[in-house]
Amino acid sequence: MLSHPVALTILVLLTMHADAVTLLQGVIHENEMSGRPMANIQVAGDGANPTTSESFGRFTLAFPNKNPGDPAEVIVNKEGYVAVNDVQLKLALPAHPEYQVLMIILCKEVDADEMRRRFYRIKSTAAIDETYTRRKRELETQLQATPEGMNKLQQDRDQAKAAAGRTFEFLAQKRPGQNSELYGQAERSFLDGDVNRAIELLNGNALNLALAVKPLR
């Protein structure tokens, strides 16, 4: 349930710009997805009203000249802190902001590598396990869940996790010059669970990762 200040802000914005405004709701956490909410953080967006996160870390940006599906970039400002999931701050505005809440994770600059490593690990493990569960269910439905088939599926899952581990170790260490669109595509692919696509993009960018894995599909 939304807090009273956030609900009131949304109501006012909708009243003022009923025919034009597109909203983006978000929440800011410290260090990890399960970290404490961060209040009083300055948040802005290209073409949006600057705002500040409230006590539970929530915020709402209003884009008066944009529509759902339009690209937008969210900018968060706290001295000495960086966004762990910065690649996710470039997004398409949602049609249903109440159901598509943007989570922003901030950490101190000195902790950035470790917090990115944790974030990538959690996201990739969840995506790979979800794919494994789906494939297992498909085999069971098709009556093909033989011991050999299940063993191969488990091996594919383990190989995917091993490759993901090596990849997020690389992605966690942001280096100068790695803010290119291609690098961003690799990060987004990885966070979507497509480890093989991320590896392909990184190798194609002459970053020379020696990561070979069979796709888990």
Look at residue 42 in the predicted model and tell me its pLDDT: 95
Could you tell me if 103 and 29 are in contact, meaning their C-beta atoms sit under 8 angstroms apart?
Answer: yes
Could you tell me if 30 and 106 are in contact, meaning their C-beta atoms sit under 8 angstroms apart?
Answer: yes
Look at residue 3 in the predicted model and tell me its pLDDT: 55
Provide the 8-state DSSP code for 37: B
Look at residue 176 in the predicted model and tell me its pLDDT: 44
CA 25-92-172 angle, 5° bins: 85
120/113 Cα distance (integer angstroms): 11
Look at residue 17 in the predicted model and tell me its pLDDT: 44
Domains and CATH numbers, the chain: 4-109 (2.60.40.10), 112-204 (no CATH)
pLDDT digit string (tens) for the chain, length 217 residues: 455 555 545 554 544 444 568 999 999 999 999 999 999 999 999 888 899 999 899 999 999 989 999 999 999 999 999 999 888 898 889 988 888 999 999 999 999 888 988 888 887 788 778 878 888 888 778 767 678 877 887 888 887 777 777 676 666 665 544 556 667 777 777 776 676 777 776 665 544 443 434 444 4
Number of H helices, E strands in the chain: 5, 8
42-47-48-49 Cα dihedral, nearest 10 degrees: 80
Look at residue 179 in the predicted model and tell me its pLDDT: 54
Look at residue 217 in the predicted model and tell me its pLDDT: 47
Look at residue 141 in the predicted model and tell me its pLDDT: 80
In degrees rounded to 5, what are phi and psi of residue 51? -150, 180
Look at residue 81 in the predicted model and tell me its pLDDT: 95
